[in-house]
Amino acid sequence: MVYLKIIRPVNLLLIAIVQILIKYVIFDVFEAETAMNDLQFALLLVATLAIAAAGNVVNDIYDVEIDRINKPEKVLVGKTITEKRAFNYFIFLNVIGVVCGFILANQLGKPGLAATFIVISALLYIYSTQLKAMLILGNVLISALVSFSLLIVLIFDLYPIAINGLSESQQTASEIVLHYAIFAFVVNLIREIVKDLEDINGDKNGGINTLAIALGRNRTTMLVFVLAVLTIIGIVAYLYTFLYNKKILVLYFLFLVVAPLLYFCIKAWDAESKKEYKNLSLILKLVMVTGMCAMICYRFI
């Protein structure tokens, strides 16, 4: 059971759902020609999830001391699993991810694409060991990798057959996926800053330099509020510009994305306690889920 807990299966499930929606909803609805068959897409899923899981494991390995302060009840490494076993698990997951990526890249006739998974694995390791301690850099990197979990479907499903450029249907599908990737980046970045507010005590003791520590809780909370407001404005502007005649999507975003973000702003305005920041983080996680699941609406428009 510990081997399942340490890889954070809920987060991995969200990645899998998003990639499935891109492949079997967005690409299908717009009739975009794709390179991967079902088996090859399964390889992409396994590779992506294995590398992401490995990143979660190595993050827990290097965060033991910090987590003992921030969330002692959730510490696994050193308690229910030894550090050596955790590191072996990290290596095992990386091998699975890279091997699946290598097989997939070669089947698609683009062996160079296998390097994608090696680079992502390396970045996750560097994040856990070095960049996480650097002001904002770690937040930006992890948010970019979350965003890339969407874009990787484009790379492996369209690039191998786009010899003469993308067709109109492929271009349209790509733009939609890119917009969702930007949304994922922004929401995750705000959530990473909120988590830093929640974990400020442990981060101080662990030598982590976060915005919450550099700017202080009040200023960082205000920054989070402003970023959320700007995100709401951006979503509303997007709905008006691109989706004004698609009522189902507009109503979906207003009620299931914009409304929770407004609630987030209200709660963020005077948030101070660890519990309040934890609730804010959960709201943003919900927004991420509902935002990504909006892809389903394309089936009905």
- Enumerate residues 6+ apart whose C-beta is below 8 A from 51: 93, 94, 97, 98, 101, 117, 120, 121, 124
> What angle do helix axes 274-293 and 168-198 make, rounded to 10 degrees?
170
Q: 12 vs 51, 91, 141, 212, CA distance in Å?
A: 10, 18, 18, 27
Closest Cα to residue 107, out of 46, 159, 36? 36
| pLDDT given for residue 100 in this prediction | 98
Asked if residue 203 lies in contact with residue 212, where contact means CB atoms within 8 angstroms, the answer is yes
* CB atoms closer than 10 angstroms to residue 240: 10
Question: pLDDT tens across 41-54, in order?
Answer: 999 999 999 999 99
The position carrying tokens 């390995």 is: 61
pTM of this structure? 0.95
Residue 81 has pLDDT above 90, yes or no: no
| pLDDT given for residue 180 in this prediction | 97
The position carrying tokens 């955790």 is: 86
Question: pLDDT tens across 245-298, in order?
Answer: 999 999 999 999 999 999 999 999 988 888 999 999 999 999 999 999 999 999
Lookup: tokens for 101: 């990526």
Question: pLDDT tens across 210-256, in order?
Answer: 898 989 899 999 999 999 999 999 999 999 999 989 999 999 999 99
Q: Could you state, in order of their start, the residue ranges of all structural domains in the chain?
A: 2-300
Average pLDDT over residues 115-124: 96
DSSP 224-276: HHHHHHHHHHHHHHHHHHHSTT-HHHHHHHIIIIIHHHHHHHHHHHT--SHHH
Asked if residue 58 lies in contact with residue 124, where contact means CB atoms within 8 angstroms, the answer is yes
Q: What are the backbone dihedrals phi and psi of residue 167, each rounded to the nearest 5 degrees, phi first?
A: -75, 170
